Every structure is written in structure tokens, then in C-alpha cells.
Amino acid sequence: MRQILGHHHASGITKDASDNYHFYAEILGMRLVKKTVNQDSPDMYHLFFGDRIGNEGTDITFFEIPMAGRTWRGSDSITRISLRVPTDAAIHYFKQRFDDFNVPYKEPVRINSRLTLEFEDFDQQRLALVSDENEAYVPHYEPWDNSPVPTEYQIAGLGPFQLDVSDIDSFEEMLKNVFSYRIARSFVHPGTGDTIRVYSVNKGGSSDELHVKHNISERERPGRGSMHHIALQVKDEAELEEWLGWLRENGLMTSPVIDRFFFKSLYITTPERIVIELATNGPGFLENEQEATLGEQLSLPPFLEADRVEIESRLAPIRTTGGSADE
């Protein structure tokens, strides 16, 4: 049975892995659960931030590309990634924390009935914190005891993904007929006045929503601060193989199933040239590291282990406020 279970992860582009670590681990309080490399280009870091063990649906990840230019914002792109927090009080906690760390943000406001704090990281990645306070369904997540953010305020996982598309009706047809999303509602953004359509799947709610805006401006030119792809969650490899056949029957451009060691994936390029990954539940980030030391050392999939010395020689140590994460 083909079923999208919700969000799996989202992957963006950063210019500097150390600054990226500072923002997501030391300011947002997420755990670096996997410090690895881009498996298709192992001379660049791929960092995964999530809950205590990086459960599916909690991870935001970044490829480090030091020479990345600025993003020229536009349509046919992933325009904002939301991160869920448990309560409205957590929104106010982070507002004060952003003041303390000079993080640019907009005043909290209710967007689609949820208290929301929109902000940007140092790459000008567009993000939002969204409160789960009135959510009927909240997926499992595990707080991390060593986070600089108190347990009751910690980021609980991924919330709505926003996409801007130039042909919203065609994109909606794909979401409904290929991926079985349903249109839940529309809302008007209180800050911009934009009308945004909400699509939901599986149990519904913040953790599986796609927010889609009609935008006929020029296509986005990606760079630092852009999202490379979003990943949606499927049960296992057998179901992923079913998806592969179904997607190709429907004329979508896909990769084959690829073993990413921590999960298996396939990649879809939509007619808008938006990249959507389908990724399996498991085996997860504990496959080759102990929970207590997740993310502390460079983790490589088995097929890259023979090249470890060469790979490590090309990667600069990641700085932290306490020194180097590689020490």
C-alpha cells in the first residue's frame, strides 16, 4: 500500500558548517545527530539536526557549499520550513532568545490558527516556529537533555512546508492524484495578504501539511539559504519500490531507489523542478553510532569508509562556542 506518513526531513544549503552548527544546535537547541558528508559529493559536509536520536519527522539538514552565492528568491521553490514547538509559551521563549542572539524575526502572529514566529538564519534561510498547543495530533519526539533550550520549549519536529508554484492547479492535481494529499483549507497570511492553500495527508495536522502559494514571479535561483529538497516519509523499502513504479506510471522524473545507509530514498523532480524525496522509516542514525555520542565524530556510510582519511583531510573542523566539535 502506498502511503505518505508525513514529513521525513528537509535539506537546505549553507555557506558555513560552523555557523550552521552555532545556529541550529547552540541557538535553536537541536541536536546534531549526524555529522556526515554528501554521499554524491563527499568533499562537503551534510549535517543533520533533530531530536534526541533524530526520529523521522524531526530533522532539518544542510549541505555545506562554501562558494554558494546568494539565493535569488522566486517561484517554483521551497520557500519556508516550519519547526514545531510544544506550546505558545515556547514561541515567546524563543522570541526572547532571538533577541538575545540578534536573530532577525517578525513578531509572533496567528497563521492558520497557530501561533507562529517567522525568522531567518544567518544564510537568510526562511523558517518559522509553529506552536502545537491546539494540535489534535502531535507525532512522537524525544527531547534532548543536553540542549541549551529547556525541555518544555524544545523543537519537537517539522511543521508545514511552504512551496511557491507558478501553476498551482497543475501542482494540486499532482498532490491529490499521485500522492493522495487532500486540500484541507485555505487561509490568508496576516502579514503578506497572500492566499495559501493547505494540503494534508495521513493523520492531518501541522506535521504533514504542505502550504502552497500561487506565485507567477521569475523562477528562484538557488544558493545559500535556499532549500534543496523536502523529504516525505514512507514505511519501508518494499513500499518505496511500489512508489517508484507508481511515480513512473504517472510520468514523473525519478531516481532509482538509493541506499543512504540511514534510510532508503528516491528523488522526484516535479514539472516545476522542485525536488521531493521519499524516504523510509529507518534504520535510523543509531545504525553506526552510540546514542550518547551521536554527531560527535564524522560518520560515513560503509562504501566511503575506505576513503575516510582523504575525506577528513578536505573538511575543516566545525567550530563551537566551546571549541571544535571534532575535538
How large is the average pLDDT for residues 254-267?
Answer: 97
Give SS3 for 144: coil
> Quick check: is 1 in a domain?
no
Sorting pLDDT into bands at 50, 70 and 90, what band is 200?
A: very high
DSSP labels, 154-202: S--EEEEEEEEES-HHHHHHHHHHTT--EEEEEEE-TTT--EEEEEE-T
From residue 123, alpha-carbon distances to 21, 58, 117, 223, 231 in Å are 12, 21, 18, 9, 21
Burial letters 68-93, b for 16+ CB under 10 A, else e: beebebbbbbbbbbbbbbbbbebbeb
pLDDT per residue as tens digits for the range 90-128: 999 999 999 999 999 999 999 999 999 999 999 999 999
- The pLDDT value recorded for residue 321 is 76
How large is the average pLDDT for residues 39-60?
Answer: 97
> Quick check: is 195 in a domain?
yes
Sorting pLDDT into bands at 50, 70 and 90, what band is 325?
A: very low
Q: Running DSSP on this structure, what letter comes out for residue 321? A: T
Sorting pLDDT into bands at 50, 70 and 90, what band is 327?
A: very low
Write down the pTM of the prediction.
Answer: 0.96
Q: Which helix (H) or strand (E) holds 79?
A: strand 77-85
Burial letters 226-248, b for 16+ CB under 10 A, else e: bbbbbbbbbbeeebbeebbeebe
CA 296 to chain centre: 21
> Quick check: is 88 in a domain?
yes
- When divided into structural domains, the chain yields a total of 1
Q: How many percent of the chain have pLDDT more than 70? A: 98
- The pLDDT value recorded for residue 62 is 98
Strands 157-165 and 210-214 turn out to be parallel
The cell 543509531 sits on which residue? 286
How large is the average pLDDT for residues 206-231?
Answer: 98
Q: Would you state the torsion angle of the CA atoms of residues 172, 116, 32, 26, taken in this order, to the nearest 10 degrees?
A: 150
Q: What is the side-by-side order of every strand in the sheet holding 195-200?
A: 109-111, 114-120, 126-131, 77-85, 157-165, 210-214, 195-200, 182-188
From residue 21, alpha-carbon distances to 25, 42, 44, 45, 53 in Å are 5, 19, 14, 11, 17
Residue 137 near residue 205, CB atoms below 8 Å? yes
How large is the average pLDDT for residues 306-321?
Answer: 93
> Quick check: is 285 in a domain?
yes
pLDDT per residue as tens digits for the range 149-177: 999 999 999 999 999 999 999 999 999 99
The grid coordinates listed for 276 are: 521531493
Sorting pLDDT into bands at 50, 70 and 90, what band is 1?
A: confident
The grid coordinates listed for 307 are: 576513503
- The pLDDT value recorded for residue 320 is 82
From residue 72, alpha-carbon distances to 56, 109, 221, 274 in Å are 30, 27, 5, 15
> Quick check: is 222 in a domain?
yes
27 has pLDDT over 50: yes
Q: How many percent of the chain have pLDDT more than 90? A: 97
- What domain range is 215 assigned to? 6-324
How large is the average pLDDT for residues 27-43?
Answer: 97
- The pLDDT value recorded for residue 216 is 97
Tell whether omega for the bond before 283 is within 30 degrees of 0, i.e. cis: yes
- The pLDDT value recorded for residue 169 is 97
What is the chain's mean pLDDT, rounded?
96
CA dihedral (210, 215, 219, 224) positive or negative: negative
- The pLDDT value recorded for residue 245 is 97
- The pLDDT value recorded for residue 326 is 53
DSSP labels, 240-288: HHHHHHHHHHTT-EE---EE-SSSEEEEEE-TT--EEEEEES-S-GGGS
Read off the CATH number of the domain in which 210 is found.
Answer: 3.10.180.10
